[in-house]
Structure 1
Amino acid sequence: MVATSATARDGWSSRTAFVLAAIGSAVGLGNLVRFPAEAGANGGGAFVLFYILCIVLIGLPVLLCETLIGRHGQAAAPESYRKLAVESGASRAWELVASLGVFSAFLVLSFYCVLGGWVLYYIGTFAADLAATGVTGPAFDGVPYEEVEALFPAMIGNGMVTSLLDLLFLGITLVFVARGVSGGIEKVAVYLMPTFFVLLLGITVYGFFGGAMQETFAYLFTFEPEKLTPEVMLAAVGQAFFSLSLGVAGMVTYGAYVGRDVNLAGTSVVIAGADTAVALIAGLCIFPIVFAAGLAPNGGLGLMFQTLPHAFQEIPFGSLIGLAFFVMVAFAALTSSVALMEVPTAWVIDRFNLRRGAAAVLVTFGAAFLGVLSALSTGALADFHPLGFIPLFEGMGTLDALDGLTSKLTMPICALLTSVFVGWIADRRLVDSENGLSGGVHLFWRFLVRFACPLALVAIMVFGLMG
């Protein structure tokens, strides 16, 4: 199946390839770090149950909106929005929604590859430790905990190292995007995503037999209704939205490469289901090892880069498990970064009629500039606050400012306007011809897109800006 547009652009070779690529786009650091930390900090089972509900009622409807716009337009995101708008008798200005998504993807790519570089650093660290200590021993055998914990601040404080690793990760991403959809992006998905799942399940099985699985279940899945507060509900809505990588025009771009024989509704369910499963399994993968080591489950990046390395010190095969874990994270990060780079690359191809390789290189140079600024913002440029003139971003370095700008403003706005566009503006017959729904399910989806999704996204933005 080949998508056509103003330029020669190939498509996915099969529905399976599209599903794996879309899952790879959604699955990333948010699933492996943010979800377990959010679940533990926000009521455990109460958060998890409401999170799954939000995936079904908010994330999945918007995901279907994005993919159907892309397949209908068969072009880069702005062109796809413009085509549907014009055919619906609406203003061409709706393409600005997609342009905002493309801009968001570019910004996220620039700092996401910095985090990918950090993962590469830990792969090298654990590989060296495995060579020194052997397969069966714990990680960093005989090294004081304080030294292991200090690895992370020492790394992010070294601007030369983090900048080079950022450029390396960005360069790896470029290689696959420049090779095209079927020749590069699809290969990442088809080979890396199954390997990712094998590693994730393997480490989870290890934790089941050798870790504190009972304590993990109590931590993540004990349902206490009184803990389902408005704050917990909002956290679950936000996690569901960001977990599926909505608002960066990624699914619009990937949808443009999908053939007419693919049922978008059923495929969207598979994508959302797999993304949710990864988030749940990630908690069962990480926390048994953390609890077995007698450690507190710190949230955020500290969980991955400080707590877990120390936990691997306390278990047999620690170096091997640690290396496998960070390789797994690198695979997830790479599939996401490839999707993020493809969004602005597809736009450059369509907008300037450039060859794919040249377009990808152009995007890479721009992302490299912002990426190096982000890499240096935890060290040499810690006092540089590019958006400090805005109260919301006061005191934030480049990396945190770009993260805040996209997560609190540009991504929610893009997703909000997408649901409004599909629910209220686009010709219903055109939408119905693409979404693959019928009967009561179709009516329910339209209700969610027109009312529930916009209200939830407005809440995310309002409380995000207030926080």
Structure 2
Amino acid sequence: MEKRERFASRLGFILISAGCAIGLGDVWRFPYIAGQYGGGIFVLIYLIFIFMLGIPIITMELAVGRASQKSIATSFNVLEKKGQKWHWMGYAGVAGNYILMMFYTTIAGWMLAYFYRMLTGQFDGLDTQQVGQIFSNLIANPVEMTVWMVITTVVCFGICSLGLQEGVEKVTKVMMVLLLAIIVLLAVKSMTLPNAGKGLSFYLMPDVNQIKENGIWETIFAAMSQAFFTLSIGIGSLAIFGSYIGKDRRLLGESINIAVLDTAISIIAGLIIFPACFSFNVDPGQGPGLIFVTLPNIFNAMSGGRIWGSLFFIFMSFAAFSTVIAVFENIISFGVDLWGWSRKKASIINMFLLIVLSMPCILGFNVLSWIQPLGEGTGILDLEDFIISYNLLPLGSLVYLLFCVTRYGWGFDKYLEEVNAGKGLKVPRALKGYLTWILPAIILVVLIQGYINVFGK
């Protein structure tokens, strides 16, 4: 048995784990939903749920990873008692990481494509209509999307193949530090635009009328599910990093660091987007349109827009790549843990495999657009996202939770012993009731309400 690799530094662990959690959901989902659900109040409820929901489950993923010294593929096998079936979760976790990358590599590719277009001035002088057309043309072109997806996949597996310290840690550290620097720079620029104050008050001042309009339950659910999805908990994508750290620090403090970094990025993203939208009188609309149509239009109208636009899309690329590298690290460790492959072999095999697996998502926008799995106007990407976001993340989190708190699993005492090994903040035993009864109920609510939102309307 070869020795498990280790992070070179604690900072490396925190930045990489946060990088795994920091993804496109922070940047294009969070500001839009915050705006829709009444700004400041939503942000407040969201923060409460990050602490109530997110942090406990991060501690569990990290504890299972650290105690087993394995990825999700085999971590339950190591820790479960004889005759138990928790290891079946391993298959779901492995599948989850692959399915996530089947569409995430495509979206990461879009970010690169836009960075390249901004940098080379392809948006200069275009009107609003033409800027919108660029995105339509991109998704209508399977060849171009495939090129960007392949670049993403090859580069990220290349980084992982260099090793944990030499590849993943070194590159992610640089990317995350640049990401933080760029996002602060963009936020400062955006907040100094004319009329930016209106955008800030829309974003940060609680708007009670919005809450009345949406209903308090809808608002709470939106905050709850955003807190849940933003941290990518439940498919073991964080557990792997637990297996790379020593026992010198307790896991609660580390989990809080990861959650705080992730949340800070979400909130700062809003400080970029809302002031800019209000300054240029643009509706901060939903999803991809915001990133690929609204913002390029704003950069076009700004002086020095090409520079700001390029910075924004390289920041988006870093956010996407940090997640891709973290999940690829998981996928490589499956090959290592299950079949004893070398890191290089696992990287090469999975690189080709994921390029093939990513094709349905790309073709779903054009050649296969007649496949509408979740009803009219949906595509293959929507189905893949639905499997992950509405099924595997909440169910996986529930499995981790029950495994750690019930006597039918690993058990609360063992979890507590692992999570509190080292120095730092302790998880108090008094939380047992909350973790055993209330938290599983909250996760079930997220699961059921998610289904109602998708199929009940």
Please state which band the TM-score falls in when normalised by the shorter chain.
over 0.9
CA distance in 1, matches of 2:52, 2:207: 22
Shift of 1:119: 0.6
Identity fraction in percent? 28
DSSP 3-state at the match of 2:387: helix
Amino acid at match of 1:407: S
CA distance in 2, matches of 1:442, 1:91: 30
* Other-structure match for 1:137: none
CA distance in 2, matches of 1:384, 1:439: 50
* Other-structure match for 1:3: none
Question: Residues 245-260 of structure 1: matches in 2 within 5 Å?
Answer: 245-260=232-247
Question: Residues 420-439 of structure 1: matches in 2 within 5 Å?
Answer: 420-424=402-406, 425-436=409-420
Amino acid at match of 2:369: A
Amino acid at match of 1:157: A
CA distance in 2, matches of 1:445, 1:176: 40
Identify which of 158, 170, 178 aligns with 2:141.
158
2:379 paired with 1:360: no
CA distance in 2, matches of 1:361, 1:384: 31
Identify which of 34, 57, 78 aligns with 1:62.
57
More moved, 97-106 vs 257-266: 97-106
Question: Residues 369-384 of structure 1: matches in 2 within 5 Å?
Answer: 369-384=356-371
2:269 paired with 1:282: yes
In structure 2, relative to structure 1, the CA distance for the partners of 1:21 and 1:249 (3 Å cut) is same
Amino acid at match of 1:421: F
CA distance in 1, matches of 2:224, 2:165: 34
Shift of 1:247: 1.4
Shift of 1:23: 0.7
Segments ≥4 residues shifted beyond 4 Å = 392-395, 437-441
Question: Residues 433-448 of structure 1: matches in 2 within 5 Å?
Answer: 433-436=417-420, 442-448=428-434
Maintained 8 Å contact 1:61/1:445: no
Amino acid at match of 2:115: I
* Other-structure match for 1:104: 96
Amino acid at match of 2:434: L
Give CA-to-partner distance per residue, 1:126-167, whole Å, 9 cap, x none: 1111xx8xxxxxxx4432221111110111111110111111
Shift of 1:441: 5.0
* Other-structure match for 1:34: 29
CA distance in 1, matches of 2:328, 2:348: 10
* Other-structure match for 1:215: 198
In structure 2, relative to structure 1, the CA distance for the partners of 1:369 and 1:211 (3 Å cut) is farther
Maintained 8 Å contact 1:112/1:337: yes
Amino acid at match of 1:428: F
Give CA-to-partner distance per residue, 1:19-47, whole Å, 9 cap, x none: 01101000010111110011011121221
Maintained 8 Å contact 1:422/1:449: no
CA distance in 2, matches of 1:111, 1:416: 24
CA distance in 1, matches of 2:282, 2:430: 45
CA distance in 1, matches of 2:119, 2:377: 37
DSSP 3-state at the match of 1:142: coil
Maintained 8 Å contact 1:109/1:367: yes
CA distance in 2, matches of 1:406, 1:341: 16
2:437 paired with 1:451: yes
* Other-structure match for 1:460: 446
Identify which of 154, 159, 162 aligns with 1:179.
162
Give CA-to-partner distance per residue, 1:380-431, whole Å, 9 cap, x none: 111135xx4xxx5676422111111111112211111111111113233321
Amino acid at match of 2:367: A
DSSP 3-state at the match of 2:5: coil
CA distance in 2, matches of 1:76, 1:393: 36
CA distance in 2, matches of 1:398, 1:34: 19
DSSP 3-state at the match of 1:77: coil
Identify which of 191, 195, 202 aligns with 2:174.
191
2:112 paired with 1:128: no
Shift of 1:440: 8.9
Question: Residues 9-48 of structure 1: matches in 2 within 5 Å?
Answer: 9-48=4-43
CA distance in 2, matches of 1:141, 1:80: 52
Maintained 8 Å contact 2:420/2:426: no
CA distance in 2, matches of 1:458, 1:306: 36
DSSP 3-state at the match of 1:12: coil
Shift of 1:196: 0.3
Maintained 8 Å contact 1:98/1:414: no
CA distance in 2, matches of 1:26, 1:444: 28
Amino acid at match of 2:220: M
Structure 2 unaligned spans of 5+:
none
2:306 paired with 1:311: no
Give CA-to-partner distance per residue, 1:349-371, whole Å, 9 cap, x none: 11111111111222222221121
DSSP 3-state at the match of 1:107: helix
Give CA-to-partner distance per residue, 1:39-89, whole Å, 9 cap, x none: 011121221111000000001100111001100001122322222213xxx
CA distance in 1, matches of 2:434, 2:351: 37
DSSP 3-state at the match of 1:250: coil
* Other-structure match for 2:79: 84
* Other-structure match for 2:334: 347
User: What number of residue pairs does the alignment pair up?
Assistant: 445
DSSP 3-state at the match of 1:175: helix
In structure 2, relative to structure 1, the CA distance for the partners of 1:462 and 1:394 (3 Å cut) is farther
CA distance in 2, matches of 1:394, 1:96: 34
Shift of 1:191: 0.8
Shift of 1:455: 1.3
In structure 2, relative to structure 1, the CA distance for the partners of 1:408 and 1:321 (3 Å cut) is same
CA distance in 2, matches of 1:273, 1:439: 15
Give TM-score scaled by structure 2 length. 0.93
Amino acid at match of 2:417: S
* Other-structure match for 2:189: 206
Shift of 1:272: 0.6
